[in-house]
Amino acid sequence: MKYLYLLICLLSINSLAEEADWPTTVTEAVNVLLETMDDDAKQKIRETAKDALIQYHHGWGTRIRNSFGLWGNNLKLIDSACGKPCHPDDASMKIIEAVWAQLTENSGKTK
């Protein structure tokens, strides 16, 4: 029982550390994502039409939802993405669209 309690405490601490690293605005989330993307990934996003971004809902969108706490307690990021409480799927799509906008704006190309 003592070990179970210790495990729960350690998992809670790990969880809090992750929360401290979550971006709380779409701008912060976009910056984090752009910092971690290589040039090929950025080019792939640039070449994607805005109405085709839904293809990234699974995979990239899942990673955004999980790593930025959209399924957890990151209500600030959800509010920043949607302007009000919304579903984590909708918030991650807004973030994907913001990354696309940043990349296409910088390339002078919009679709």
Per-residue pLDDT reduced to its tens digit, 50-73: 999 999 999 999 999 999 999 988
Model confidence, pTM? 0.80
Task: Give pLDDT, residue 109.
Answer: 54
Could you tell me the CA-to-CA distances from 1 to 11, 13, 15, 77, 100 in Å, in that order? 15, 19, 21, 37, 49
Task: Give pLDDT, residue 39.
Answer: 96
Task: Give pLDDT, residue 20.
Answer: 74
Low-confidence ranges of the chain (pLDDT < 50): 1-17
Task: Give pLDDT, residue 28.
Answer: 97
Task: Give pLDDT, residue 21.
Answer: 86
